[in-house]
Amino acid sequence: MHGPRRSHRILASFLAAILGTTGLLAFQSQPQSLSTELLDGLDRISGDSMRGHLSFIASDQLEGRDTPSRGLDIAAEYIAAQFRRAGLEPAGDDGYFQTAMFASSELDAASFHFLLRSGSKEIQVAANQLNFVFRQNWTMEPTKATKIVFGNTAALDAMPPGQVDGKVVLMEEPKVNAADQAQVAAANDFVRKLQAMKPALIVYISRSTPTATGGGPASLIDPENRQQGNFDRSIAQNPVLTVYSPDAISLYDALEFGLDSATVSVEARAVERPVPLRNVVGILRGTDPALADSYVMLTAHYDHVGVRGNGPDRIFNGANDDGSGTVSVIEIASALATLKEKPKRSLVFMTVFGEEKGMLGSRYYGRHPIFPFEKTIADINLEQIGRTDSTEGPQVNNASITGFDFSDIGQIFQSAGQLTGITVYKHERNSDAYFSRSDNIALAALGIPAHSLSVAFDYPDYHRAGDQWEKIDYSNMARVDRMVALGLLMIANNPDAPKWNEANPRTAPYVKSWKDSHSTSPQ
């Protein structure tokens, strides 16, 4: 990190050259004078401030910010409060909130019906005696069942045609040692072979202590896009239920292997309720009459995966993924809002919901843009920028741009990094591969040059309960955020907008979208 002001002033002439030029990467041969205001603004980006924000957003009280959840709603209110404190103009349909009305669907346990029958004996199994993933209304009339032994491939091969196809398969719950790779591979091969035989249902009979979840967590429904949501896909081709019932064990033990002497019937119905989900959006208006109605976006997702598992710590706090990006958006917005000389283009700061559920918030914004996408010239999406303990080694003073050479933006931020002591680079393996794996892709699909910036693609606690706020490298995050703030200003103050790299064949769909949106709306 550079010293507070003196060492920043050493860079003043170079910063002035970049921010005052008409070319994104050009340098003036004669440095212009620059007040200390911009440098002071960058210095306001504080690691201590972000520690304070993140210790709340990633606290246990917010319970992992699942979509939807009470913790997610509290986080949205907190982000809006920080935008309000910074003096950003609210840009949503309800103050700082852009509200999307989704629906939540969960199993109606009261009407659930699972009946296992053999001869005169029948067992009614309640939802709280089962583990299964409930996706949609499901009815299965009484269907013949066949009993097999898990892992006995020879017995499976010996079964006559039709012994499994369209029937219910009953077997004991598999016990596989996850540390034994050969055992895991054999089990996977057996399951794939069984599934290829097209059973109507696989029922595991468990002899262990019940850990039933019923139909699992509620499923989100996007009313505008039902056919694409998880809920309305067909239940898995070979649905699987695990039964925890002493009566079911007794009936199962009395069956002979391979005989169709039992039947299973199922009826599962859904209960739906409306769920409001919110993107949080604020704007710092530009000042140039010709450029103020064009927009540069800084985004991050503020959700995580909630509460999971059965261990002593079940809260997945998501401090780095993506609490780090969320508090960085807050901090950069707060710092740039203090500048007396505002940027020429408008800066949009947005945190989105539901990235972990399929980039729901950013895709919703793509269908309902607050700012015309033909006037939105760039998006920088911040994703996992707080942890430096990467599985690839320490990542101090480093940042990577996904799709680095898909547009001008990689080079712009590389130049900003050179001026602030941050190495911005293309990760040879992950840069292109991760381009479509975060919220930037929803805007790129509209033709907007949009990329994600990360410090560590993978780290020890990724999507685990250990991703907590104490493990963030706040000093490094502040240095990276100063570089991000400078890169935003370099784009916002330049009359030339970033462009897709048409020479790169991977950009073809994004170039087409850009050309389609600009065919009647010149830049």
User: DSSP character for 405?
Assistant: T
Position 30 pLDDT exceeds 80: no
The tokens describing 435, both together, are: 């381009």
* Residue 163 CA: distances (Å) to CA of 108, 166, 199, 205, 222: 32, 8, 9, 19, 39
Lowest model confidence (mean pLDDT) among 44-53, 149-158, 351-360: 149-158
Position 34 pLDDT exceeds 60: no
Q: What dihedral do alpha carbons 103, 225, 352, 428 form, nearest 10°?
A: 140
Three-state secondary-structure class, residue 139: strand
Mean pLDDT of 235-255: 85
Taking only the tens place, the pLDDT of each residue in 344-400 is 999 999 999 999 999 999 999 999 999 999 999 999 999 999 999 999 999 999 999
% of residues, the chain, pLDDT over 90 = 74
**Residue 456: closest CA among 410, 404, 395:** 395
Position 228 pLDDT exceeds 80: no
Q: What is the layout of strands, in order, in the sheet containing 130-131?
A: 121-124, 113-118, 262-268, 138-147, 168-172, 201-205, 240-243, 130-131
Say what the pLDDT of residue 29 is.
27
pLDDT class of 323 with cuts at 50, 70, 90: very high
Average pLDDT, the chain: 89
Three-state secondary-structure class, residue 380: strand
- For the chain, give the longest Cα–Cα distance: 96
User: Which domains occur in the chain, in start order?
Assistant: 44-104+275-518 (3.40.630.10), 109-268 (3.50.30.30)
pLDDT class of 13 with cuts at 50, 70, 90: very low
Q: Which amino acid is at 40?
A: D
